[in-house]
Amino acid sequence: MNKVVLTALLSLFTMSAVAQFRMSYNDDSPLRKLQYAEVAITNLYVDSVDEKKLVEDAIRGMLNKLDPHSSYSTPKEVKELNEPLNGNFEGIGVQFNMIEDTLLVIQPVTNGPSEKVGIIAGDRIVSVNDTAIAGVKMSKEEIMKRLRGPKGTKAHLGIVRQGIKDLLKFTVVRDKIPVKSVDATYMIRPGIGYIRIGNFGATTYSEFLESLEKLRKEGMESLILDLQENGGGYLKAAVDVANEFLQRGDLIVYTEGRKTPRTEYTADGSGIFQKGKVVVLVDGYTASAAEIVTGAIQDQDRGLVVGRRTFGKGLVQRPIDMPDGSMIRLTIAHYYTPSGRCIQKPYKKGENKDYAMDMMNRLKSGELTNADSIHFADSLKYETLRQHRMVYGGGGIMPDEFVPLDTTLYTKFHRELAAKSIVIQHNLRFVDNHRKELTTRWTDFADFKQNFEVPQSLVDGIIAEGEKQSIKPKDEAELQKTIPYLRLQLKALIARDIWDMSEYFSVFNESSEMVKKALEMIGRP
């Protein structure tokens, strides 16, 4: 291939998604070099190559040499990543789980397309559009693909229902199904509300505001905001949530980068919970947007933080859409809490393995079990803006009250039972077999929470199934240590299946040391 042909081929290159950027096409420019390499490989390499994959690998290679959070996603990956943040997907609207290879409906989505046609909890979906999905070892991902589809399309479902001999047929018209990011809302004690946010998506703020208003009507004076395991999401959602707690003009967060000028986000004074005690719960998986909310509340002395050091993601990614629907998420700035902290934890460009192992390193160092194991340089010391309390930057947000990870709570025996899905499978069977009895007897959640006892037969069945699969406790002591937590987990799961996630957390939180500490702090003068 001569230079003329090669140049002609290169002239066809377009990049509409980044047309706003200045690009150099000089013979010695890096971009020109990359183009020559791609064209040469595609046209001259000894074996056939997938040009699309070649380019994608090159993009990933470039991004891998940058920070740990710059990334490339294919069109399919973009859709999957956006669904939980956009607040909806299109499908039939059921919460389900698998019992062996059969899809069991846990709950139809309220006012969703499945509920509207009469599908109920406990139904088994055995076919979709005349294709069997039960008894054929179909993967969960493949089943989801068949159930989801564009709004307005029809799914013809074959359903087996307890007590009904014949196969039931339903036609469900797919629709947009809401995906909630507020996992739980309830009054944990008189005057004290509890809200758990799972991520920060497009609908988070409206859900959060609805939760706040509900709890205020129920007499909430103080709030526990649970951001444990919240991996973040949209910056705007985090700013809007933080705004509900802060006074007019209070700085929430600011961003700044090499090519990105400083941008400040401040409270507008319209928040409905500017007074009243606030405690934020965090752990090592609290990240990004969740750290923005935590940092704002801590730095403005609006509330206290309980738990363990947060993840430490202080990098802002800009999505760059490509013509084929793929996307680059490129880090363009750092974000800073009101006191000026950048809480991004250290990393070396192109060395993402150590970064990914950070949580394991924290466990090995003793940080998760002993607050004294955490050390910060004096250069990382900052002060809160009102009370001038000492806080630290440079690697996540340190809580005001440390709660160690209870490494004795989860025994090896329990972890193995859970890993094999033995606990969840037996719980599903129990609820499925006793659904009518459970929903008839336990109509009031407060009564359930106070008086329901997990049957010994359910616990025995789980232990027996574990033994069948060569999962046994090390000794009697490990067995006795496992059973109380197992009972608690089962009770919470049964509450979830009868009601929803708020009831699940209402049961589970009664044993949480983090929640106990938060309640203690709210009770202080």
Confidence at residue 368, expressed as pLDDT on a 0 to 100 scale: 86
Confidence at residue 292, expressed as pLDDT on a 0 to 100 scale: 97
pTM for this structure? 0.84
**180 confidence band (pLDDT: 50, 70, 90):** confident
Can you tell me the mean pLDDT for 416-433?
A: 86
**144 confidence band (pLDDT: 50, 70, 90):** confident
Kindly report, residue by residue over 196-212, the tens digit of the pLDDT: 999 999 899 999 999 99
Give all strands (DSSP E) within 74-148, no chain letters: 88-91, 94-99, 102-108, 124-128, 131-132
Q: Which of 277, 313, 481, 517 is catalytic?
A: 313
Kindly report, residue by residue over 487-501, the tens digit of the pLDDT: 999 999 999 989 989
Kindly tell me if the per-residue pLDDT of 15 is higher than 70.
no
Is 373 tagged catalytic? no
With a pLDDT cut of 90, the percent of the chain lying above it is: 51
> In the predicted model, what is the mean pLDDT of the chain?
88
Kindly tell me if the per-residue pLDDT of 327 is higher than 80.
yes
Confidence at residue 408, expressed as pLDDT on a 0 to 100 scale: 75
Fold exhibited by the domain 182-405:
2-enoyl-CoA Hydratase; Chain A, domain 1 (3.90.226)
Is 48 tagged catalytic? no
Q: Which of 469, 464, 460 is nearest to 487 (CA)?
A: 460
SS3 330: strand
The number of C-alpha atoms within 13 Å of 480 and in the hemisphere containing its C-beta is: 3
How does strand 192-197 pair with strand 381-383? unpaired
Kindly tell me if the per-residue pLDDT of 437 is higher than 90.
yes
Kindly tell me if the per-residue pLDDT of 136 is higher than 90.
no
- Between 35-44, 191-200, 336-345, the lowest mean confidence (pLDDT) is in 35-44
Confidence at residue 26, expressed as pLDDT on a 0 to 100 scale: 66
The residue ranking higher by pLDDT, 154 or 85, is 154
Q: Which of 175, 299, 497, 500 is catalytic?
A: 299
Confidence at residue 272, expressed as pLDDT on a 0 to 100 scale: 96
**1 confidence band (pLDDT: 50, 70, 90):** very low
With residue 459 as reference, give the H or E element that holds it.
helix 456-468
Can you tell me the mean pLDDT for 344-364?
A: 81
**312 confidence band (pLDDT: 50, 70, 90):** very high
The residue ranking higher by pLDDT, 122 or 171, is 171
Can you tell me the mean pLDDT for 91-112?
A: 80
| 26/49 Cα distance (integer angstroms) | 27
Is 365 tagged catalytic? no
Confidence at residue 25, expressed as pLDDT on a 0 to 100 scale: 60
Residues 6+ apart with CB under 8 A from 87: 178, 179, 181, 201, 202, 203
With residue 180 as reference, give the H or E element that holds it.
none
Q: Domain locations in the chain?
A: 3-73, 88-178, 182-405, 412-520
Can you tell me the mean pLDDT for 430-458?
A: 93
Confidence at residue 212, expressed as pLDDT on a 0 to 100 scale: 97
**23 confidence band (pLDDT: 50, 70, 90):** low
Query: For 88-178, which CATH superfamily applies?
Result: PDZ domain (2.30.42.10)
Q: Which two tokens stand for residue 333?
A: 């700035």
The residue ranking higher by pLDDT, 416 or 221, is 221
Of the chain, the end-to-end C-alpha distance in Å amounts to 81
**385 confidence band (pLDDT: 50, 70, 90):** very high
Q: Which of 71, 114, 288, 339 is catalytic?
A: 288
Neighbours of 104 (CB within 10 A): 22
Confidence at residue 32, expressed as pLDDT on a 0 to 100 scale: 84
With a pLDDT cut of 70, the percent of the chain lying above it is: 94
Kindly tell me if the per-residue pLDDT of 19 is higher than 80.
no
**183 confidence band (pLDDT: 50, 70, 90):** very high
**16 confidence band (pLDDT: 50, 70, 90):** very low
Kindly report, residue by residue over 222-280, the tens digit of the pLDDT: 999 999 999 999 999 999 999 999 999 999 999 999 999 999 999 999 999 999 999 99
With residue 278 as reference, give the H or E element that holds it.
strand 278-282
